Amino acid sequence: MTDTLSLAKDIRREALKMVHRAKASHIASALSIVDILAVLYGRVLRVDPAQPAWSARDRFILSKGHACVGVYATLAVSGFFPREQLSTYGQDFSDLMNHISHKVPGVEFSTGSLGHGLPFGVGKALAAKRRGQDWRTVVLCSDGEWGEGSNWEAVLFAHHHQLDNLTVVIDYNKLQSLTTVAETLALEPFVDKFRAFGWAVQEVDGHDHAALAGALASTPWQAGKPSVLIAHTTKGKGVSFMENTVDWHYRSPNDEHLAAALAELA
């Protein structure tokens, strides 16, 4: 079995180096989902790095496309493409764009505008159902994008069509670009909303690998119902000076920041 804790550290280190090299942003948004990604790719998803387009693969969609360095690093570390390619992130003509790109092996769908990933994932899940295929669709969303009406339309649609082959994971770090989610557009009572829409709901510590694996490996939790896992996370997780602050949503780490962060992840 994959050591997902070591995998998560490796992903965090590579993501930090990518953002620093490219003088890019959104590192805190990527760090909050790394443990989820490590568990998905280390224990849960049915994927084959040697065959990224394998027809029976599970489909993973990152709806919060700005956190792409987390997924790029995960895919490279997992063997979907050479790790050396990560050094091209954010450069002209690179497939590793600043929002996630389907040109990269293992990436299903390009996202950037929030609220697009889930509707696309619902369509994939419906296609699998209608074709009698058993692969699953997993969509990872930010919390801030639940202010998008397109997501709630997709939630209604998924329940109506009994898409129990669909799992949504919400990175509930409670911060978005400039302030808290609660101050921007409050989501609570979040769990009750999903239950009212007919979904099976669980909550989990989004950094607890055993809890994540237990929940994600056992879907669907209720036959005929799509599943949503609300993962309570910390923005910037793993680097003390980036944790739980909006500063690192757009800020780019300099040489000193990178050295300090990598020292913490040694």
pLDDT digits (tens, 9 = 90+) for 154-206: 999 999 999 999 999 999 999 999 999 999 999 999 999 999 999 999 999 99
Residues 6+ apart with CB under 8 A from 266: none
Cα–Cα distance for residue pair 153/171, rounded to 1 Å = 19
Whether omega before 220 lies within 30 degrees of 0, making that bond cis, reads: yes
Cα–Cα distance for residue pair 206/44, rounded to 1 Å = 15
Model pLDDT, residue 2:
85
Cα–Cα distance for residue pair 248/20, rounded to 1 Å = 12
Specify whether the backbone of 12 is left (phi greater than 0), alpha (psi in -120 to 50) or beta: alpha
DSSP-based three-state secondary structure for 256: helix
Residue indicated by tokens 């920041």: 257
Cα–Cα distance for residue pair 24/27, rounded to 1 Å = 8
DSSP-based three-state secondary structure for 48: coil
Cα–Cα distance for residue pair 125/162, rounded to 1 Å = 10
In order of their start, the domains of the chain are 4-264 (3.40.50.970)
Model pLDDT, residue 189:
97
The DSSP symbol for 51 reads -
Stated pTM of the model = 0.97
The one-letter amino acid code at 45 reads L
Distances (CA, A) of 118 to 70, 152, 225, 246: 18, 9, 16, 25
The one-letter amino acid code at 50 reads A
Cα–Cα distance for residue pair 68/104, rounded to 1 Å = 11
Model pLDDT, residue 27:
98
* Per-10-residue mean pLDDT, the chain, length 266: 93 98 97 98 98 98 98 98 97 96 98 94 98 98 97 98 98 96 96 98 98 98 98 98 96 97 96
Model pLDDT, residue 1:
63
Max CA distance (Å), the chain = 53
